[in-house]
Amino acid sequence: MDDDQFMREAVERFTRPWPQRRGIESIDRNAAVVLVKVPLNQLSDALAEKAIESQRNVMGAEIEVSGACVFAYQLVGHPWSIMISGLLYPSILQSSELAQLSKQLGQAVITLLVIKSKII
């Protein structure tokens, strides 16, 4: 398979309609996703209390990231907000901090870890 054909197939796979997708699709990397069952504004308020800096409504904007950070967003029509880490793994994503966040918000918090396995 040549590089052009590989790229065409990759683009086709990753841009197919959502109703045709099943299961968890992954680009095989280490990742942590945290789901919080609250509206995004409520989650943002709680995170801003712990943050050095907080920015909202940055879709399409250029932002500067200088260290550990969390990105929070919510898909339209879904009750869960989503948090992912930026460059470094911030302490807010540790289990003790998430338990405190869950208690503060009075809602469930779910952590999904995707860890790439390496067979030796």
Query: Residue 30: pLDDT band by 50, 70, 90 thresholds?
Result: low
Distances in whole angstroms, Cα of residue 21 to Cα of each of 16, 24, 71, 100, 111: 8, 9, 24, 35, 22
pLDDT at 102: 92
Q: How far apart are CA 64 and CA 66, in angstroms?
A: 6
- State whether residue 49 is helix, strand or coil: helix
- The pLDDT tens digits for 35-80 are 999 999 899 888 888 777 777 777 787 877 777 778 888 888 888 9
Average pLDDT, integer, range 101-120: 78
Q: How far apart are CA 92 and CA 89, in angstroms?
A: 8
CA-wise closest residue to 48 among 94, 95, 101, 86: 101
pLDDT at 25: 63
Q: Which domains, ranges and CATH numbers included, belong to the chain?
A: 26-114 (3.30.70)
**In the block, residue with structure tokens 């550990």:** 68
Query: Residue 87: pLDDT band by 50, 70, 90 thresholds?
Result: low
Average pLDDT, integer, range 102-120: 77
User: If you ran DSSP here, which 8-state letter would residue 77 be given?
Assistant: T
